[in-house]
Amino acid sequence: MDESANPFGAAENTDFLRAVLDGIQDGVYLVDQERRIVFWNSGAEIITGYVRQELLGRFCPDSLLRHCDARGAELCEKDCPLHATLTDGAPRETFALLCHKEGHRVPVRVRATAVRGRDGVSLGAAQVFEERAFTEFNERQMQTLETLRLLDPLTGLASREMIATKLAERLGELQRCGLPFGILLVDIDRLALVNRHYGRDAGDGILRMAAHTLAKGSTAPHLLGRWEKDQFLAIVDNCDGELLAGVAERLWTMLSQSCIQWWGGPVRVTASVAGVLARANDDERDLIARAAALLGEVQCAGGNAFRAGSPAGSAAFG
């Protein structure tokens, strides 16, 4: 393979460079000038679930990752940083949600860089993507909860009992020290229809996918758990109405972009998200009741929306 077809350069350097890039924990892939994927490292396999044989030779716009921004707009359609870097040679960095092979969305920081030969001629471009730092926090937190047998067996998230205990602790801290927090209720819309149409195993798959997606999108030091059969609850620490609404929007967006593969086809669901700030005179029942009432309003309006925060910071989409 000559240099013009191989962004690694001379063939004798290829094995060495592959070994170096495979040793990087971040995902790294390279494309040629036609945006054909010519390299896919081990970090990319771990983050996305796709092994290199599934993506090598595919064109970036046709790939399975379906990068989108925080509001769900597909980046490959008009705002692809890799394409822009190939066009003008300027490096770029952005936040994106990529689609994991199992269907859930993974938040990543994306950096695109031009790859040039010794003569300065463009050979292609490299894209590096790393999972957000809070992923490691969530994994350590879940490992601790698993050791204490405080995890929900289906989703792997904190159990209702664990969430209830933490809610009581947070309310005590709010009353004693004024430490603010809020909660988000996340309900999977019309999960019963999925169970009836595809079977309960598909419904369980949807819940596991949703749990994984929410865990990836819940910035530390938030705590996330399964509250009801088809409902999750997140405790968002040190937040005001604007921050709570921002977290609600991110989680709703990630869920709306996720799916599972069932018997060869995608099964998609929507979600309703509602969040309220805790008050100093709240007990657990008051706090949950206010969030549940707001969630009911979202669902009565058709679901597939989020609403959270103060009136100025609240929003709904659907």
SS3 for 26? coil
Which alpha helices (DSSP H) does 157-301 contain, by range? 160-177, 191-198, 200-217, 241-256, 284-300
How far is residue 191's CA from residue 197's CA, in Å, rounded to a whole number? 10
Which residues, given as ranges, of the chain have pLDDT below 50? 1-5, 8, 10-12, 133-137, 220, 310-318
Cβ-based neighbour number of residue 293 at 10 Å: 11
**What pLDDT score was predicted for residue 133?**
44
Where are the chain's structural domains?
Answer: 3-131, 134-308
Residue 182: enclosing H or E segment and its boundaries? strand 181-188
Q: In what order do the strands lie in the sheet with 223-228?
A: 223-228, 231-237, 181-188, 271-277, 305-308
**What pLDDT score was predicted for residue 3?**
40
On whether the CB atoms of residues 182 and 170 are closer than 8 A, the answer is no
**What pLDDT score was predicted for residue 147?**
52
How far is residue 288's CA from residue 276's CA, in Å, rounded to a whole number? 9
Tokens of 123: 């050979």
SS3 helix, strand, coil % of the chain, rounded to 5? Answer: 40, 25, 30
Pick the CATH number of 134-308 from 1.10.150.120, 3.90.1150.10, 1.10.10.60, 3.30.70.270: 3.30.70.270
pLDDT in tens, 154-173: 998 888 988 998 899 999 99
How far is residue 222's CA from residue 250's CA, in Å, rounded to a whole number? 14
How far is residue 184's CA from residue 169's CA, in Å, rounded to a whole number? 17
On whether the CB atoms of residues 72 and 256 are closer than 8 A, the answer is yes
Question: Which CATH architecture describes the domain 3-131?
Answer: 2-Layer Sandwich (3.30)
Residue 54: enclosing H or E segment and its boundaries? helix 52-55
For CA atoms 20, 23, 28, 29, give the dihedral sign. Answer: positive
How far is residue 150's CA from residue 155's CA, in Å, rounded to a whole number? 12
User: Please, which residues bridge with residue 225 across strands?
Assistant: 158, 233
**What pLDDT score was predicted for residue 17?**
73
- CA angle centred on 255, ends 253 and 259, rounded to 5°: 130
**What pLDDT score was predicted for residue 199?**
92
